[in-house]
Structure 1
């Protein structure tokens, strides 16, 4: 029986922690790739040495050679650079478009049947790049955004109400950024709508903190950005696909008429299974929610129009 294989491109904090989370689940061989050859080798060696303590026998490979990634079932792309002082948004976009384009070309050549999960920022635009370059069907290209943003929303609700995160289900739609759209009306605590548990001013504060979730951590870290929660979100998505769970999660996917959005990657609830995206779940939005969602989509479209000039 062929062993499943997952490649993670980029051995930074997100990539390395994702490798750890997936290694501990033991359902696939893991390849960790980076342009700095010693970095993935060192992280893989560290992970292998923790196996006897934690109790996993996952086969791990650290490499700078794309040949090692051949025949991957899933490829997670975390590559990219953070914005640096003096760098404009377009400068950052141009650099990361080039990186994601090259990575996608390399992995697709060797794993033409893989499912691509994009984590690189700006996320919605980078998922668009991976889709354009790979020419894969939309079912096999998705971005990790809503799963992370929803987890942050759930964490803040848990802290606010003093209840278990396991009792909380939440949806955050739209682009991965300031314009994201948390939906309190579709957020529940043990089945109770969140709108019945918190006054509007507290809801608004939690929504704003969710939108600022990544920036809040960057401010605290001073140098660097979040990696524990992003890697956990990737692992949740990968597990849903690998185990054919039919799990509904918000992900950045190519809408082709759904939610009145055409030919644009934006966060919506999807059913994840063995084939990748198996269904886009359409929920009814109020006029205000729809207006916020369309505003978010417009911000993503503006980024993608800039990308079109760079590819």
Structure 2
């Protein structure tokens, strides 16, 4: 029998595509943790846990089905459960349907471990992170969302194809909101220490076209196969690993930014205590206008769920 790791990561909604992809990514990435698969459909959770556990025999992590009460005592709680986004449906339409689900989940997790970190993945993630913090009772720095991390990865992949530079060496972010109001921080983007837009292969490139394609990619995937899960599963597992290992890595995640007075997708360093610091990103005039639109849209909805 393999040794069970000392820390735990619970995946709520683990019986579904996103939850299963997240749980599998934690095992496949070699994260030394006990992955708890939790779902209101007990049989689905059991099936996913058994299947994923078959992939763990060469890895330091383990995987099993668990209850909501057990999940409440995990070190990191990843919430992927929620109403599914339909083809062509704006993420904002999901709010009322998901509010009841998230509140029920937080109630079922009680009492939640005081040092636990909650990572929201369910959409619309900026607003649902706000709701999760309010209903969980945990401090703001311990409740975060996956935000525009996946969108940023899509952006860097697209830029890599144009510049022939590794995505990991391109420092550019999608910001503001994980949704229709997200935008690219072009003016702060860098590559090799120089402004990204100075790169010769980006001269004359339609930047708005790139931004639009990135913001619409999820809809394209949903139209083709019903939902997205591999990309977000990898992103969620990476964030969870950073929380467990106290790496202080910077991610464009949903976090409460004091200067703007709301939860939003913004670069922040995270570690074992959750958000360690949020960063001041320099924007030009047009980007500042887009940021305000995103913030106003998030606040307008969050004000309804205080």
Displacement of 1:217 in angstroms is 1.4
- Paired with 2:180 and 2:88, the residues of 1 have a C-alpha distance of 21
Q: Runs of 5+ in structure 1 lacking a partner? A: none
Q: Runs of 5+ in structure 2 lacking a partner? A: none
Please identify runs of 4+ aligned residues in structure 1 that moved more than 4 A: 84-91
> 1:246, 1:272 within 8 Å by CA — same for their partners in 2?
yes
> 1:69, 1:111 within 8 Å by CA — same for their partners in 2?
no
- Normalising by structure 2, what TM-score? 0.90
Displacement of 1:277 in angstroms is 0.1
- Paired with 1:278 and 1:7, the residues of 2 have a C-alpha distance of 22
Other-structure match for 2:6: 3
Other-structure match for 1:273: 271
2:50 to 13, 20, 45: 45
- Paired with 1:57 and 1:162, the residues of 2 have a C-alpha distance of 35
- Structure-2 change in CA distance of 1:181 and 1:67 (3 Å): same
> 2:87, 2:219 within 8 Å by CA — same for their partners in 1?
no
- Paired with 1:34 and 1:80, the residues of 2 have a C-alpha distance of 11
- Paired with 1:83 and 1:147, the residues of 2 have a C-alpha distance of 19
2:148 to 140, 146, 149: 146
Deviations 1:5-45 (A, max 9, x none): 11010021111011011123232111010011111111111
Displacement of 1:83 in angstroms is 3.7
Other-structure match for 2:41: 36
- Paired with 1:187 and 1:91, the residues of 2 have a C-alpha distance of 32
Aligned-partner SS, 1:212: helix
Which piece of structure 1 moves more, 110-119 or 147-156? 110-119
| Equivalenced residues, count | 299
2:221 to 198, 208, 217: 217
> 2:79, 2:120 within 8 Å by CA — same for their partners in 1?
yes
- Paired with 1:166 and 1:90, the residues of 2 have a C-alpha distance of 31
- Paired with 1:93 and 1:151, the residues of 2 have a C-alpha distance of 25
Report 1:186-205 matches (<5 A): 186-197=188-199, 198-199=202-203, 201-205=205-209
Structural RMSD (CA): 2.2
Report 1:1-311 matches (<5 A): 3-11=6-14, 12-24=16-28, 25-52=30-57, 55-63=58-66, 65-84=67-86, 92-197=94-199, 198-199=202-203, 201-221=205-225, 224-256=226-258, 258=259, 261-262=260-261, 264-308=262-306
